[in-house]
Amino acid sequence: MMTTAPTVFVATSDLTGHARGRAVPRDAHDAVLKRGVGWVPADLALTAFGDLAPNVFGSTGDLRLLPDASSGIEIPAAADAPGVLMYLADQVLPDGTRWSCCPRTFARTALADLKDATGLEVVASFEHEFMLPGAAGSAPFSFTRYRSAEPFGSNLVTLLGQIGLEPETWLPEFGADQFEITLRPSDALVAADRAILLKEVVRDLAARHGRRVTFAPLPDPDGSGNGVHVHLSLRDAATGQPVLFAPDQPGRLSTIGGKFAAGMLAHARALVAITAGSPSSYLRLKPHRWSAGGIFLAEHNREALLRICPTSTIGDGVPAEQFNLEYRAADATANPWLVIGALVRAGLHGIQAGYETPRVWPEEVTETELVGVPALPESLSEALAELTADRTVAGWFHPDLRETYLAVKQAELARVAGHDQRELCNRVADVY
């Protein structure tokens, strides 16, 4: 990539969803794309708060961060802020072989296994909500709120377009100071890469505007939650045809889609340990927050863990091409590669184990009818225990990756032990 940026930043996303890496001068660009830059295995054990959790790697060992050329984005210079070229990388051993604990490799392998076993590919999109403090008193979804974010908002949409992240919608959300940005669906690995880059681009641009955003799942215990909703659909890799849509079946969900959904639901209590990774994530995952109020599949209902999204025929819209499942129990404290990898492994397990399509609750299902529907874990420690106990889910991770993940999360829990809800929310918002 031709660039005028003085540096090239090569990054991974760690287990806490933070992009970490190192920069090289522009003239090393081609060499770094070919050979990568050095990295340290123990970096995988960094917590969101910057501590190093106990880990098997210790002070020894070396890795390379090997950039994926197709992930590159250039944040242009503005005023006195220099530009930077940024790449996402796989973590490999010095001889170039894959590292068993690399989160990006985890996603790629899950997607490859799905394709090998079923001939299916995943199309995905991550929707992000965040708070941009400073829109005092404006109404949800209002033009006033929208304009209060200018010129940041328009600059963000323009920048995302320039760097190829394909912005779709930019909107003032329901909560105080809350906004949402959605990107167009893409190949699932690209979608996860984009989710990582998006957070960094938003933070970086906000800082250039003298503002600070937070993607924390619940910045204020009395306020709205920030979700990361993951939209998933499946297509036949050979023909490109979407395979989730079956207009005559319950919820218009195909048999293969039903099995895929069933896998996610059956293992949801363990999956959330990966998709909602912070101690404050579980304050968001409660009923009446339109986050995910229980483990069920429903048409068009925002309380469902898995929502069957609506389609539209306006302007010759084709339902089969729009039809997708939305997993709502993720947030920005998760690593998007682990999220995609774990959701895809769960779906593949549902297909291979021959799970039945779960009950599809109608859009207008009432709370009384939902009594008895399984609940999500109430805390991160409960979710971690579920992850350990669910041998299927635990088995998807190399033992070193799993143990490091658990250690990082236990260290984060220890850091906030004794905090009340407000202190906890503040502490997490400080680092997200």
Of residues 46, 40, 13, the one with CA closest to residue 407:
46
Out of 71, 118, 125, 224, the only residue in the binding site for ligand GLU (CB under 6 A) is: 224
Out of 290, 319, 392, 394, the only residue in the binding site for ligand GLU (CB under 6 A) is: 290
Rank residues 6 and 223 by Cβ distance to ligand GLU and give the closer one.
223
Rank residues 87 and 179 by Cβ distance to ligand GLU and give the closer one.
179
111, 119, 412, 418 from 339: Cα distances, Å: 12, 21, 19, 29
- Residue 302 interacting entry, from ligand GLU, Mg ion, none, C-beta within 5 to 8 Å by type: ligand GLU
Rank residues 21 and 225 by Cβ distance to ligand GLU and give the closer one.
225
Diameter of the chain by CA atoms?
Answer: 64
Min CB(279)–ligand GLU separation in Å = 16
Pick the stretch among 19-27, 177-185, 275-283, 391-399 that binds Mg ion (CB under 5 A): 177-185
- Residue 290 interacting entry, from ligand GLU, Mg ion, none, C-beta within 5 to 8 Å by type: ligand GLU
Rank residues 328 and 409 by Cβ distance to ligand GLU and give the closer one.
328
Rank residues 302 and 415 by Cβ distance to ligand GLU and give the closer one.
302
Q: What is the total count of residues that contact ligand GLU (CB under 6 A)?
A: 10
By Cβ distance, which residue is nearest to Mg ion? 180
Pick the stretch among 112-120, 178-186, 213-221, 232-240 that binds Mg ion (CB under 5 A): 178-186
How far is 95 from 103, CA to CA, in rounded Å? 19
Rank residues 83 and 223 by Cβ distance to ligand GLU and give the closer one.
223
Write out the binding residues for ligand GLU, residues 117-146 only, by CB under 6 A: 129
Rank residues 267 and 328 by Cβ distance to ligand GLU and give the closer one.
328
Pair 68, 90: CB distance under 8 Å: yes
- Residue 242 interacting entry, from ligand GLU, Mg ion, none, C-beta within 5 to 8 Å by type: none
Rank residues 104 and 328 by Cβ distance to ligand GLU and give the closer one.
328
Min CB(217)–ligand GLU separation in Å = 7
- Residue 57 interacting entry, from Mg ion, ligand GLU, none, C-beta within 5 to 8 Å by type: none
Out of 180, 303, 386, 403, the only residue in the binding site for Mg ion (CB under 5 A) is: 180
Min CB(227)–Mg ion separation in Å = 6
Out of 147, 211, 302, 398, the only residue in the binding site for ligand GLU (CB under 6 A) is: 302
Write out the binding residues for ligand GLU, residues 259-288 only, by CB under 6 A: 284
Find how far residue 165's CA is from the centre of its chain: 15
Three-class secondary structure assignment of the chain: CCCCCCEEEEEEECCCCCEEEEEEEHHHHHHHHHHCEEECHHHHHECCCCCECCCCCCCCCCEEEEECHHHCEEECCECCECCEEEEEEEEECCCCCECCCCHHHHHHHHHHHHHHHHCEEEEEEEEEEEECCCCCCCCCCCHHHHHHCCCHHHHHHHHHHHCCCCEEEEEECCCCCEEEEEECCEEHHHHHHHHHHHHHHHHHHHHHCCCCCECCCCCCCCCCCCCEEEEEEEEECCCCCECCECCCCHHHECHHHHHHHHHHHHCHHHHHHHHCCCCCHHHHCCCCCCCCCEEEEEECCCCEEEEECCCCCHHHCCHHHHCCEEEEEECCCCCHHHHHHHHHHHHHHHHHCCCCCCCEECCCCCCCCCCCCCCCCCCHHHHHHHHHHCHHHHCCCCHHHHHHHHHHHHHHHHHCCCCCHHHHHHHHHHHC
By Cβ distance, which residue is nearest to ligand GLU? 227
Rank residues 38 and 140 by Cβ distance to ligand GLU and give the closer one.
140
Q: Count other C-beta atoms under 10 Å from residue 70's C-beta.
A: 11
Min CB(394)–ligand GLU separation in Å = 26
Residue 291 engages ligand GLU in binding (rule: CB under 6 A): yes
Out of 21, 36, 219, 227, the only residue in the binding site for ligand GLU (CB under 6 A) is: 227
Min CB(222)–ligand GLU separation in Å = 14
Rank residues 320 and 375 by Cβ distance to ligand GLU and give the closer one.
375
Residues contributing to the site for ligand GLU (CB under 6 A):
129, 224-225, 227, 284, 289-291, 302, 328
Residues contributing to the site for Mg ion (CB under 5 A):
180
